[in-house]
């Protein structure tokens, strides 16, 4: 561990934006009211075509970094990390409202956690239902997913206090050490969006660094990314089906050893079958298939990236729980199928972990 890593001082905030006019004013107002510790605010804009830049112009303290095209939040976050003048940077989605005092609690948790801590995330609650947790970090499920903590749990019942070490962060709001993130290449732009935070978490943890969820630091999470995010309702976005189908395979191919893939293969196949079944129910089997085909077209590039990544993921994985958005599994049949899948994945992990432990 690097004992020379300095504790956080002044913090740069990087807000990532694409056509976020509906969110951006509230996001920047919340930063103004967040309290001390913010040294600069950068808005990295992914070639927005709405009034986002007009809104940003109302905030003279905000420095705008314009990117020529929208390639997703990963290149934008990386550009913000490179542009920031401070070592510790709060990466913030444009639909996240940082609550007063939250930044100070994140900074304090990093200081008390020691030099191994490279990232700390606040607990996010729904803006429309602030008494319920949305994201609170999680663990790296061997099926190539995040097993989310406290997902949709009432805030009063959420488990954990203070700073809790986690296996995977969720990229709504993250306080990060820019130098160590850039050292490993930052966020991987291959994903566009979805799974990029789990990929980053695995690469950071493979180097022995720690990730924290800070339970009393809060952000309110607004509506998400149009056409990709899902909260409720009968219509599951085909674009999300596509990205899930493609990006999960990128994550597995890039970060898992061959021995890990072999040991986990029956569980991975079971999840794949269930994923295709869900795509059928969502009316998006072609989006699922297109995701797989596009992954195959990227395979050579992914395998080249694999050589650059530590692949000791086996010891960083867990077997459950399998967490899904409640409304997506509404109804007896879907809920029963999800429960059976979770039990099947757990059962295979009980065997696979024994194999991996002996390697």
Instruction: Quote the CA–CA distance of 181 and 12 in Å, as a whole number.
Output: 15
How much is the pLDDT for 332? 83
pLDDT in tens, 102-120: 999 999 999 999 999 999 9
pLDDT average, residue stretch 15-25: 97
Nearest partner of 12 among 39, 36, 37, judged by Cα: 39
pLDDT in tens, 159-168: 999 999 999 9
Is a pLDDT exceeding 60 seen at residue 3? no
CA distances for 169 relative to 211, 231, 335, angstroms: 7, 19, 26
Angle at 197 between CA 56 and CA 242, to 5 degrees: 90
Is a pLDDT exceeding 70 seen at residue 145? yes
Question: Token pair of 352, please?
Answer: 């696979």
Is a pLDDT exceeding 80 seen at residue 234? no
| pLDDT-derived band at 175, boundaries 50, 70, 90 | very high
Domain boundaries, the chain: 11-221, 238-357
pLDDT average, residue stretch 173-177: 98
Instruction: Compute the half-sphere exposure of residue 341: CA atoms within 13 Å on the CB side of its CA.
Output: 22
How much is the pLDDT for 328? 81
How much is the pLDDT for 283? 95
| DSSP structural state of residue 222 | -
Instruction: Compute the half-sphere exposure of residue 152: CA atoms within 13 Å on the CB side of its CA.
Output: 9
Angle at 313 between CA 159 and CA 122, to 5 degrees: 30
The label of the residue with tokens 């920047």 reads: 28
3-state SS class at 90: strand
The CATH topology of domain 11-221 is Spore Coat Polysaccharide Biosynthesis Protein SpsA; Chain A (3.90.550)
Report the chain's mean pLDDT, rounded to a whole number: 94
| pLDDT-derived band at 212, boundaries 50, 70, 90 | very high
* Other beta carbons within 10 Å of 52: 23
Instruction: Quote the CA–CA distance of 264 and 318 in Å, as a whole number.
Output: 11
- pTM of the predicted protein model: 0.95
Gyration radius of the chain over CA positions: 20
How much is the pLDDT for 355? 86
* Other beta carbons within 10 Å of 348: 22
């Amino acid at each position: 561990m690097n004992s020379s890593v300095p504790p956080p001082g002044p913090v740069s905030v990087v807000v990532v934006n694409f056509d976020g006019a509906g969110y951006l004013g509230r996001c920047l107002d919340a930063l103004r009211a967040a309290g001390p510790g913010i040294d600069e605010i950068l808005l990295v804009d992914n070639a927005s075509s709405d009034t986002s830049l007009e809104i940003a112009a109302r905030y003279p303290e905000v420095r705008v970094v314009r990117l020529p095209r929208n390639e997703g939040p990963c290149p934008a976050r990386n550009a913000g990390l490179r542009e920031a003048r401070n070592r510790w940077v709060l990466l913030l989605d444009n639909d996240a409202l940082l609550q007063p005092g939250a930044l100070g609690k994140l900074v304090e948790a990093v200081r008390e956690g020691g030099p191994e801590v490279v990232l700390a995330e606040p607990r996010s609650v729904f803006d429309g239902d602030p008494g319920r947790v949305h994201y609170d970090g999680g663990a790296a499920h061997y099926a190539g997913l995040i097993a989310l903590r406290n997902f949709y749990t009432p805030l009063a019942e959420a488990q954990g206090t203070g700073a809790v070490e986690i296996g995977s962060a969720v990229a709504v709001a993250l306080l990060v050490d820019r130098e160590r993130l850039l050292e490993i290449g930052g966020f991987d732009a291959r994903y566009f969006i979805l799974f990029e935070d789990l990929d980053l978490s695995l690469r950071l943890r493979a180097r022995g660094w720690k990730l924290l969820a800070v339970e009393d630091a809060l952000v309110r999470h607004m509506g998400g990314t149009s056409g990709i995010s899902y909260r409720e309702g009968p219509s599951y976005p085909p674009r999300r089906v596509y990205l899930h189908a493609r990006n999960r395979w990128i994550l597995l191919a890039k970060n898992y050893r061959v021995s890990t893939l072999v040991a986990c293969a029956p569980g991975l196949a079971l999840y794949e079958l269930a994923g295709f079944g869900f795509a059928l129910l969502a009316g998006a089997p072609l989006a699922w298939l297109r995701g797989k085909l596009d992954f195959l077209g990227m395979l050579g590039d992914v395998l080249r990236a694999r050589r650059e990544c530590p692949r000791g993921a086996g010891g960083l994985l867990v077997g459950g729980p399998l967490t899904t958005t409640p409304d997506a599994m509404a109804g007896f049949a879907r809920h029963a199928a999800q429960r059976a899948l979770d039990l099947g994945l757990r059962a295979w992990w009980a065997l696979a972990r024994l194999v991996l432990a002996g390697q």
